[in-house]
Amino acid sequence: MHVAVGDRIVVKGHRIGQPDRDCEVIEVRGSDGGPPYIVRWGDTGHETLFFPGSDAAVQHFEHAR
Amino acid sequence: MRTIDALRRSGVGIKPSQTIREAAELMEHTGVGSLAVVDGTRLTGIVTDRDLVRRGLARGLPLDARVDMVMSSPVITVDAEADLHDAFQSFRTHGVRRLAVVRDGEFTGMITVDDLLVDLADDLVGLSRPIDAEIHHAHRDGAVVAMT
């Protein structure tokens, strides 16, 4: 997974009734856009060191050119 | 099958200097039962919800105690490119329920016995379908033979 600051990552719920969650990438710690990332969760505002797995999909933000 | 291909969940990390309260909050907010304790890019330990209870609460540690006081270390790891059977072997050998998956020595994610059991159950359901169809539609073959 390669992301840039400002991209959104959606993590699907693992249990029945558990909603998908999303977060915004605020820092890329890996090389060449790779993980880990510091993310801010949309529902709580908490910041976390995040290592995306197969349950995570990135939505690229349209960055200014 | 590579171990990395069996990784179902994203991993969440915490710094060694953060508190056990923050660890508990992170688990609650992110829905995971374990956190990778990461110092820079170096994996230094794993802390589980069970660790917070047994090594934290039960011993009367304050909520602002550092998370590295309750983490498990050294960490049992499996390489991301290793065959999944190597992960099974490590689960058997070490009697643990979680393994840290690493690539080039850096944490990539956490693989759990629970996740592997879910995968196995899915595989078993797939394998049982032909047998299930045979049991419930046993007369179908007979009709085909009668037509020839």
Sequence spans of domains, chain B: 3-147
Mutation pick from A48, A50, A55, A58 vs chain B, by most beta carbons of B within 10 Å, is: A48
ipTM of the shown complex? 0.79
Rounded-to-integer distance, Cα B48 and Cα B142, Å:
57
Instruction: Determine whether the interchain pair B11/A48 forms a contact, defined as Cβ–Cβ distance below 8 Å.
Output: no
Instruction: Determine whether the interchain pair A48/B7 forms a contact, defined as Cβ–Cβ distance below 8 Å.
Output: no
Q: What is the mean pLDDT of residues B45-74?
A: 96
pTM for the full predicted model:
0.79
Instruction: Determine whether the interchain pair B8/A54 forms a contact, defined as Cβ–Cβ distance below 8 Å.
Output: yes
Upstream peptide bond of B74 is cis (omega within 30 degrees of 0): yes
Is residue A51 domain-resident? no
Instruction: Determine whether the interchain pair B109/A51 forms a contact, defined as Cβ–Cβ distance below 8 Å.
Output: yes
Interface of B with A in 85-144 (CB under 8 A): 107-109
| Confidence band of B18 (pLDDT split at 50, 70, 90) | very high
Instruction: Determine whether the interchain pair B13/A48 forms a contact, defined as Cβ–Cβ distance below 8 Å.
Output: yes
Task: Please give, rounded to a whole number of angstroms, the shortest distance from the CA of B114 to a CA of chain A.
Answer: 12
Instruction: Determine whether the interchain pair A53/B29 forms a contact, defined as Cβ–Cβ distance below 8 Å.
Output: no
Domain holding A7, by residue range, is: 1-25+34-43+56-65
Q: Output the pLDDT for position A30.
A: 86
Burial B32-56, CB ≥16 within 10 A → b, else e: bebbbbbeeeebbbbbbeebbeebb
- Sign of the CA dihedral running B118, B102, A54, B128: negative
Mean pLDDT is highest, among A55-59, B56-60, B123-127, for: B56-60
Secondary element (H or E) of residue B88: helix B84-94
CATH of domain B3-147: 3.10.580.10
Is residue A48 domain-resident? no
Is residue A15 domain-resident? yes
Is residue A63 domain-resident? yes
Task: Please give, rounded to a whole number of angstroms, the shortest distance from the CA of B4 to a CA of chain A.
Answer: 9
The larger pLDDT score, comparing residue B11 to residue B140, is at B11
Mutation pick from B8, B10, B43 vs chain A, by most beta carbons of A within 10 Å, is: B10
Closest Cα to residue B38, out of A55, A33, A36, A34?
A36
Q: What is the mean pLDDT of residues A31-39?
A: 89
Is residue A50 domain-resident? no
Q: Output the pLDDT for position B41.
A: 76
Instruction: Determine whether the interchain pair A49/B41 forms a contact, defined as Cβ–Cβ distance below 8 Å.
Output: no
- Count of the separate structural domains present in chain A: 1
